[in-house]
Structure 1
Amino acid sequence: MSKTQSTSKAAVQRRWLSGVGRQAPTAMFWAVCAPLLDGAFMIIQAWFLANTLDQAIRLSIEPAQLLGAMATIAGLIILRASINWSGEQAASHAAETIKLQIRRQLFALTLAKGPAWSKQHPIGTLTVSLIDQVQALDGYLQRYLPAVISAVILPFAIALVVLPVDWVVAALFLVTAPLIPLFMALIGMRAEAANQKHQRVLSRLSGVFSDRIRGLFTLALLGRTTDEVRSVRSASVALSQTTMKVLRIAFLSSAVLELFAALGVAGVAVYIGLSYLGMLGSHFTGFSLHHGLFCLLLAPEVYNPLRKMAASYHDRATAKVAVDELHQLYEQLPQLSNDLPTPSRSAVVQFHETGAQPLLQVEQLQLKSPTGVPLLHATDFSLDRGQHVALMGASGLGKTTFLEALIGLRPQVQGRIQFSCAATEVVLIGPQPFIGLGTIADFLRRARPDATDTQLWWALEQAQALPFVRPLPKGLATQIGTRGHGLSGGQVHRLALARLFLTDPAVILLDEPTAHLDSTTRDQVLAAILGFAQHRCLIIATHDAEVAAQLGQVWFMENQQLLQRDVL
């Protein structure tokens, strides 16, 4: 990436991050205003408290005569606590609302990019982006945004209030206060770099761990579990080391903050003390106890907003890194609106519920791989109900890409694909069907939510899944793991095929449906599929010549061409 592109990308991220708080305007407005209002009442409270102490100490007024002033101070304390609490609640509500909206946007964006894009990224990386990297915005929204506004306004407001009382104290506030954000910015540069490394290591560990868990059975068969345990442990140690680096920088920033805040308060205290002792000359001896206490009470409050900003400064660095990671992964940032991106079907694919013939019409279809390598030159064909095709060819030539392109899941497509049916009447079962966490019944009913148990058992029988489902103690209520953990590849395919028999499609696209089956089970499954697809359009991608021989046509993908041949 060139320097210009990097600068432009950083500018886009800054604009996005600065505008993200506007997605919950009411709650965020109060979250920002509450510290300012609290600061205003704090100044009033300091004035009343200094005046009360002055009357009690210097004028020796009886405590009974100061009850009204003390009640006012107590009321101000309660009022400030209420304002702070409501501001924190508003900030928390705003953060949760915005994070939920961003997660919805990212989830919709993931769906819009399609399965071809998702397969290019480890599931752990996508999970981190949707959960951890969005969660990394929490501190920025809850703490940093309210703190940075009050840090900009309150110190100068307090200095202006103190100016009529004593210009030297006001000058001390104005000189020392800006030093804190200056040094925090210098430390923040290092903190941002450390956070970037931390997020990269976290994403890598998530991807490594997720991939190893999915392939645990295969690793055990190959005797590679010990090596992979070392790999995961190494990634975990790297994460621990980067986490400690981030924490060291956070503690360093806190130490710098406390140093300058302590020096500022001490400077004001020394000045006021020397003034009372008359050691600064006649020009600095006009302090009353009231004014001195007022300035001294406000001294820590000048640095308190800066302290809060500094404490949450690493939240900003973390948020910037998270936004950068999201930008790199999705190649764009989620929209700051309520409009969700819709899954983008290829413009060349059209669905018209006309029922006209042919059912599937393809003209000048050209396919490319995600890297731009041509897979298929311009091809024309048409299929109607009752026509069955076997798609054959060597591995890697694009059979899966071809099937996915027909329903618009591949962006690298040119030509025209037209179905004379609804999009919901086209079914594709890929080579690696996804099985989520739940029961067998839950998995099957995703195809037909109103299906009865009798219909589920019938579908399992058609897919030759009864031999391994019926003996299970809980039957249809048996829990199955994510991605079919605990099931063989053939069993997963048969469960996926069972869902096919619960639908009513016009076009059926199957990718290696019999790849993991023995010959007997294969023939039984294929017979059920052909019977079900008797009056439907069917395309099966396969390497099995015996499967291809039972279909009406065989198409070969070779030399970037689709060669058609009838089977006698």
Structure 2
Amino acid sequence: MPSPLAWLHSLHHCCRRPVLLSIILGALSGLCVIVQAGLLAHLIHSAVIERAARESLQVFFAALIVIIVLRALLAWGREVCGQRGSSLVRRFVRRRILEQLDALGPVALRQKQTAPLASSILERVEALHSYFAQYLPQKTLALIIPLMIILTAFSFSWAVGLIFLVTAPLIPLFMVMIGRGAESLSQKNFQILSRMSAHFLDTLHGLTTLKLFQRSADEAERIAASSESYRKGTMAVLRLAFLSSAILEFLTSVAIAMTAVFLGLSYLDFLDFGLYGQELTLRTGLFLLLLAPDLYLPLRELGSHFHARAEALGAAVELSDLLAEKPAEQVCPGTAQLPPDQPLALELRHVRHRFAGRDSLALDDLCLEVKAGEWLAVVGASGAGKTTLLNLLLGFLPLQQGEIRVNGQHLAELDLEGWRRRIAWVPQQPQLFFGRLAENIALEDPAMSMEKITRAAEQARLLEPAGQLPRGLAGPVGEEGNLLSGGQARRVALARA
């Protein structure tokens, strides 16, 4: 299984073009910074030292305005490209998660908690946003823009260029040292959030039971304790973020101060080196001093975005684990299709099934024959294997031993989707989806005619209860069918079948 960082790198192909465009726009913005500093230094030198006329400086003022507007447009373009790249990655990951959940099947999903899965699809995927939108382009720009400014500074003063070259690497060094601690804290905080989400969802589902047994107050205290633990974890991450920002600001201030001290002492004739024998004018000194903050700005931005990397790595741990989980072997890997009008007959021969981690067999030497058109009720005590039998027939579990034949054909030879289309399924707890009642009945075929939907509703004796809704079959069922009674929900499932 790949490491979280390797898994994040595997997603780069989704956003390569927007990220590359963001880097190009950022590099152009860096060039604009150098030009802007040169224009400002020239304007101030010309106005203060050379006493130039206002009319002679109008062209430079116009150029300065154009550069400022251009920088704003480039920053907007970078933001749009970053959002686009992040959106592509998050959409890809969510699609992969849904495909993985579909491949795992309902039996495997029943063993997972709903809250952590929802958290993975929502919070953890959203945690990837800043990494791809901001950190990934900034990682390259933090090398390109400082290098451009250092080379520019060396062309005017090797001493200032040397100050830039020595102090610039200190910021990424401290950033990495602090970021490693933030990565561990972010991962731990995600785990706390998963447990809290699962606990809170279980409490909501069992709120009626807790009230009846007078345990709601105790459960509220447990939720408060869980929330307090998450709050402390969040504050620990924020403390580390503020600490790293303070350190980066301190290092940046010291580096700029060193540049200012060198230039000041050179103006006072205490230093006479570092300028290739040239005179230090106000234009040159101001230009170098204006470059200093912009040299460290990309590095500081990378430092602030480094926490996005730590957050993304924390999210990648659970996302990569979920996507690396191997789905069970499909029961029907074949391609054979059953004739659409042929009645179905089932035959099971010496079927055995054992779940992992259990000593006893869920099904032990089961032999069964169901003729076409025959009605059969499978009864037994809890744990006798009724659900296991249905899951084997539906293809949700692999057949470990024995044979299952449909009209004399091995079930393994049939196309899985084609076989499931021949089966009607009414579960014990029907799953209704937000939307209209008619849409839930026509779940298999959204293009189903209203006449066919009405006929199915009549056969399930659903029209009379449906008439109690304001809009009948066109009325909403609510979230998870909360606008219907339990009996109405089961009749919807029966009409759907």
TM-score normalised by the chain length of structure 1: 0.78
- Residue 157 of structure 1, aligned match among 120, 132, 148: 148
**What's 2:230 paired with?**
239
Are the structure 2 counterparts of residues 83 and 454 from structure 1 closer, same or farther at C-alpha, using a change threshold of 3 Å? Answer: closer
Bigger drift between 435-444 and 161-170 goes to 435-444
Displacement of 1:16? 2.3
Mark the CA change 1:235 to 1:222 in structure 2 (over 3 Å): closer, same or farther. same
Give, as a single letter, the amino acid of the residue that structure 1 aligns with 2:282.
L
Once the two structures are TM-superposed, the CA of residue 220 in structure 1 deviates from its matched residue by 3.0
Q: Which residue of 2 aligns with 1:406?
A: 393
1:321 equivalenced with 2:320 (yes/no)? no
Q: Is the 8 A contact 2:362 2:383 kept in 1?
A: no
Q: CA deviation at 1:29?
A: 1.4
Whole-Å Cα distance in 2 between the matches of residues 189 and 412 of structure 1?
Answer: 47
Tell me which of 408, 431, 435 is aligned to 2:432.
Answer: 435
Map of 1:221-240 to 2, 5 A cutoff? 221-240=212-231
Q: Is 1:359–1:384's contact at 8 Å kept on the other side of the alignment? A: yes
1:298 pairs, out of 291, 303, 323, with 291
CA change 1:233–1:478 in 2 (3 A) is: farther
Residue 129 of structure 1: aligned partner: 120
Matched with 2:353 is 367
Tell me if structure 2 keeps the 8 A contact 1:361–1:381: yes
Classify 1:490/1:392 alpha carbon distance in 2 versus 1 (closer, same or farther; 3 Å): same
Supply the AA of the counterpart residue of 1:301.
Answer: D
- 1:352 aligns to what? 337
Q: Which deviates the most, 58-67 or 301-310?
A: 58-67
Contact 2:146/2:298, CA 8 A, preserved across alignment: yes
Structure 1 counterpart of 2:324, from 318, 331, 336: 331
Q: Does 1:426 align with 2:423?
A: yes
- Name the residue aligned to 2:165: 174
How far did residue 449 of structure 1 move? 3.9
Give the whole-Å Cα distance in 2 for the aligned partners of 1:350 and 1:433.
30
SS at match of 2:376: strand
Q: Which residue type is aligned with residue 28 of structure 1? A: V
Q: Could you tell me which residue of structure 2 aligns to residue 71 of structure 1?
A: 62
Which stretches in structure 1 are left out of the alignment for 5+ residues? 1-7, 334-340, 501-568
Q: Which residue of 2 aligns with 1:517?
A: none
Partners of 2:165 and 2:273 in 1: how far apart?
Answer: 24
* 2:381 equivalent to 1:394: yes
- Contact conserved, 1:445 with 1:451, CA < 8 A, in 2? yes
For the residue of structure 2 that corresponds to 1:388, the secondary structure is coil
Alpha carbons of 1:307 and 1:375: their partners in 2 closer, same or farther (altered >3 Å)? same
Name the CA shift for 1:144/1:47 in 2 (closer, same or farther; >3 Å). same
For 1:527, the equivalent position in structure 2 comes to none
Once residues 160 and 394 of structure 2 are traced to their aligned partners in structure 1, the CA distance between those partners, rounded to angstroms, is 73
Is contact 1:369–1:412 with CA below 8 Å preserved after alignment? no
Residue 357 (structure 1) shift: 7.8
Alignment check: 8 A CA contact 1:32 1:145 kept: no
Give the one of 50, 55, 73 matched to 2:46: 55
Q: Which amino acid is 1:47 matched to? A: G
Query: 3-state DSSP class of the match of 2:10?
Result: helix
The C-alpha deviation readout for 1:391-424, integer Å capped at 9, x for no partner, is 2222123211210111211246445444458321
Identity of aligned residues (%): 34
Answer with 46-55 or 161-170: which moved more: 46-55
3-state SS in 2 of match to 1:51: helix
Q: 8 Å contact 1:364–1:378 — kept in the other structure?
A: yes
* Residue 466 (structure 1) shift: 5.8
In 2 relative to 1, CA 155–224 (structure 1 residues): closer, same or farther, beyond 3 Å? same
Between the aligned partners of 1:412 and 1:162, the Cα distance in structure 2 is 72
Deviations 1:227-286 (A, max 9, x none): 332333322222222222221111111111111111111110111111111112466784
| Cα offset, 1:76, TM superposition | 1.8
- SS of alignment partner, residue 312 of structure 1: helix
* Secondary structure at the counterpart of residue 426 of structure 1: coil
Seen in structure 2, the aligned counterparts of structure 1 residues 345 and 430 have a Cα distance that, compared at 3 Å, is farther
What residue is the counterpart of 1:34 in the other structure? 25
Quick check: 1:24 aligned with 2:15? yes
2:6 maps to amino acid? R
Asked whether 1:252 is paired with 2:239, we answer no
* Distance in 1 separating the partners of 2:334 and 2:430: 23
Higher strand share: 1
Q: Which one of the candidate residues 87, 99, 108 is aligned to 2:99? A: 108
Report what 1:485 is aligned to: 482
- The one-character-per-residue Cα deviations of 1:86-118 (angstroms, maximum 9, x if unpaired) are 111111112112211221121121111111121
Contact 1:437–1:479 (8 Å) recurs in 2: yes
The answer on whether the counterparts of 1:352 and 1:418 sit within 8 Å (CA) in structure 2 is no
Aligned residues of 1:405 and 1:413 also touching (Cα < 8 A): no
- State the AA in 1 paired with 2:331: S
**d(CA) in 2 for partners of 1:243 and 1:440?**
43
- TM-aligned CA distance change 1:63 to 1:237, over 3 Å: same
Measured against aligned partners, the alpha-carbon deviations of 1:284-325 in whole angstroms (never above 9, x if no partner) come to: 784222221121111001100011111111111111111111
Matched residues, number: 483
Could you tell me how far 1:457 is from its partner in structure 2? Answer: 5.6
Counterpart of 1:392 in 2: which secondary structure?
A: coil
For residue 278 of structure 1, what is the amino acid of its counterpart? D
**CA–CA distance in structure 2, aligned partners of residues 141 and 473 of structure 1:** 47
1:385 to 369, 372, 375: 372
The 1:380–1:359 alpha-carbon spacing in structure 2 relative to 1, beyond 3 Å, is same
Cα pair 1:366 1:379 within 8 Å, conserved: yes
Q: RMSD of the TM alignment (CA)?
A: 2.8
Question: Following the alignment from structure 2 to structure 1, what is the Cα–Cα distance between the partners of residues 344 and 454?
Answer: 34
Shift of 1:460: 4.4
Q: Which residue of 2 aligns with 1:506?
A: none
CA distance in 2, matches of 1:411, 1:181: 52
Distance 1:313 1:330 in 2: 25
Contact 2:330–2:396 (CA<8 Å) still a contact in 1? yes
